[in-house]
Structure 1
Amino acid sequence: MPFDRRQFIVLTGVAAFALALPGHAATTETRTMYGLIGKMKAAAGQRDALIAILLDGIDAMPGCLSYIVARDPKDADAIWISEVWDSQDSHRASLTLPSVKAAIAKAKPMIASFDEHHEIEPVGGHGLTKTR
C-alpha cells in the first residue's frame, strides 16, 4: 500500500521522542498542544523490528511531551502510536531532522499499511500541564 513521507512520520512517531526538554510541559505560556494517534500494520513478522526502530533515539526531539508505542494484543502485526507535542510547529520541525529521515528509510520496508490516523488537541493529563 503506497504512503507518503508525512503520513509515515505522523503515524510512526519516530519524530516524537518523549520528554526531550525536562519540565517543558509545565510552562505557564498558553498555547495549544498538538497530538497524534495512529495505527499501522507491520509486514508479517516485522512488528518487533519496526517497534525497535520507532523507539530508537527517543530523547532527541525538541517539543515532544509524550510518545507511546504499543502492541495491539488482538492483531500480531498492529502497532498503535500516540504522541503529544507542545505545538504543531514543533512536530513539523521534527520532520526535517536527519535522524527522522534515516528512521523512515529504515522502517519503510517493514510497514504494510496505515489503518488509522487522528490529529487531536490534548488539554492535559498525567505528565502534561493543561494549556487552556
Structure 2
Amino acid sequence: MDFGQGGRIGRYVRMEALPGKGSVLAGKLLTVAEGMRGAPGCELYVVNLSADEPDIVWVTEVWADEAASDSALSGDLGEAGIGEVIELLAGPPELVDLTPLGGPGLPR
C-alpha cells in the first residue's frame, strides 16, 4: 500500500474550556458541526466530550483534501457560533494532523 501524502487529511483538535464550561463548549461545537454538514469535502466532523476531563472537548475531522479543509475553516462560520466557541476557550486549541487510511465510517 502507498501511504503517501496528497489526498485525504485528518485532524484531532483538543480544546480546553474555561472551568466548568466543557458541556457549553461541546454544545457550541455541535452547532459548528451542523454548519459543516454542507461543506464541500467534509467527510467527518465529530465533537467528543472527554470522559474523564469534563472541560476537554475533542473534534475529529476528516477532509477530502487540504483545500477543502482550508476553504471550510476559513469561511464565515460566524452564524455557526465560532465566535462563541473562542470565548469559551481557556487557551489555544491543540492540533494533531493525520493521514486517514480507511476503516468503518470513512467513505472510500
TM-score with structure 1 length normalisation? 0.66
- Judge which range, 65-74 or 107-116, deviates more: 107-116
SS at structure 2 position matched to 1:48: helix
Corresponding residue for residue 37 of structure 1: 12
Corresponding residue for residue 14 of structure 1: none
* Selected match of 1:50 from 22, 25, 29: 25
Q: Which runs of 5+ in 2 are unaligned?
A: 1-5
Q: Percent identity?
A: 26
Runs of 4+ with deviation above 3 angstroms: none
TM-score with structure 2 length normalisation? 0.79
After TM superposition, give the deviation of residue 86 of structure 1 in Å: 0.4
SS at structure 2 position matched to 1:74: coil
Corresponding residue for residue 8 of structure 1: none
> What root-mean-square deviation, in Å, do the aligned CA atoms of Structure 1 and Structure 2 show?
1.8
Corresponding residue for residue 54 of structure 2: 76
After TM superposition, give the deviation of residue 116 of structure 1 in Å: 3.3
Map of 1:80-95 to 2, 5 A cutoff?
80-95=58-73
Equivalent residues of 1:70, 1:81 under 8 A apart = yes
